[in-house]
């Protein structure tokens, strides 16, 4: 096997971090190698020691190759890919072309108060789609794209959980 295959990539959507295998407990920055240590104790829980500082870490999600890591209180999402799976993914993305659909998911748990669009409506970016009540606050959920309402999966008075599908849109390019 070619040498470049001994790698794994962690992708954020914007960035690609590559790590040589076997994975070492060091990260190279410029010319220097810095040691990373994962530790766990009763006082601090799990943390990473890096450059003489303790960073709190928590694993929010770990499902197949998808990871959400809370690092120093900030959440980062990754998919981990091998060189082969990355190539396949890139190929599939090219085949698919630009996105055709936009799914509107509930940003937080709450109750639907009003649905302001109907199936088949042509709507513009920024138009209000529905009103979601959460923590006694009414939140207007606005349309992130220009498109046509393909389906509405919620009704007024309905309770939704975080990430529940509320509305599907066909994007107009």
Partner 1 sequence: MKIKNILIANRGEIAVRIISTAKKMGITTSVIKTRTEPAAMYLAHADKIYDDTENISEIPVFLDIERIIRIALEIGADAIHPGYGFLAENPYFAQKCADNKIIFIGPSPDSIYKMGNKIIARKIALASRIPMTIGSEGKVPTEKEAIRVAQKIGYPVIIKAASGGGGRGMRIVRSEEEMPKMFRMASNEADKTFSDHSVFIEKYIENPKHIEFQVLGDKKGNIIHLWERECSVQRKHQKLLEEAPSSALNDKTRKEMGEIAVKIASAVGYFSAGTVEFLFDSKGNYYFMEMNTRIQVEHPVTELITGIDLVEEQIRIAEGKELRYRQEDIKFRGWAIECRINAEDVQAGFSPAPGKIEQIIMPSGENIRVDTGVQAGSVIAANYDSMIAKLIIYGKNRKEALANCKQALDKVWIKGTKTTLPFFRMLIRNPRFLDGSITTPFIENEISSYYVYSEYEEMLAAWLATWLFIDENLDEGNLKIDIDEARNISPWLLNKRINRH
Q: Which residues bind partner 1 (CB under 8 A)?
A: 1, 5-6, 8, 10, 12, 15, 17, 19, 21-25, 27, 29, 36, 38, 43-46, 48, 50, 54-59, 62, 65, 67, 69-76, 78, 80, 82, 84-85, 107-108, 113, 128, 131, 133-138, 140, 162
Tokens 């006694």 belong to 136
Structure tokens at 78: 């990754």
3-state class of 120 per DSSP? coil
| Least distance (Å) between residue 40 CB and partner 1 | 11
Per-residue burial over 89-116, b if 16 or more Cβ lie within 10 Å, else e, is eeeeeeeeeeeeebebebeeebebbebb
Structure tokens at 39: 């530790």
Report the residue number, 78 or 154, with the smaller CB distance to partner 1. 78
3-state class of 3 per DSSP? helix
Report the residue number, 76 or 150, with the smaller CB distance to partner 1. 76
Tell me whether strands 159-160 and 128-134 are parallel, antiparallel or unpaired.
unpaired
Report the residue number, 99 or 105, with the smaller CB distance to partner 1. 105
| Least distance (Å) between residue 98 CB and partner 1 | 25
| Least distance (Å) between residue 100 CB and partner 1 | 26
Report the residue number, 48 or 171, with the smaller CB distance to partner 1. 48
| Least distance (Å) between residue 8 CB and partner 1 | 5
Number of other residues whose CB lies within 10 A of the CB of residue 153? 13
Residues contacting 117, CB < 8 A, separation 6+: 123, 127, 129, 130, 149, 152, 167
| Least distance (Å) between residue 170 CB and partner 1 | 25
Report the residue number, 38 or 172, with the smaller CB distance to partner 1. 38
């Amino acid at each position: 096997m070619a040498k470049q295959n001994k790698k794994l990539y962690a992708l954020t959507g914007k960035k690609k971090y590559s790590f040589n295998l076997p994975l070492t407990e060091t990260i190279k920055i410029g010319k220097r190698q810095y040691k990373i240590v994962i530790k766990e104790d009763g006082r601090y829980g799990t943390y990473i020691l890096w450059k003489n500082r303790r960073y709190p870490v928590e694993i929010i999600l770990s499902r197949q190759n998808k990871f959400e890591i809370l690092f120093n209180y900030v959440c980062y999402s990754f998919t981990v890919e091998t060189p082969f799976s990355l190539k396949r993914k890139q190929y599939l993305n090219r085949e698919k072309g630009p996105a055709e659909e936009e799914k509107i998911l509930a940003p937080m748990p709450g109750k639907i108060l009003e649905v302001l669009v109907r199936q088949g409506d042509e709507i513009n970016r920024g138009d209000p789609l529905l009103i979601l009540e959460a923590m006694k606050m009414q939140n207007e959920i606005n349309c992130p794209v220009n498109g046509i309402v393909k389906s509405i999966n919620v009704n007024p008075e309905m309770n939704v959980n975080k990430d529940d599908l509320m509305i599907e849109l066909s994007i107009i390019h």
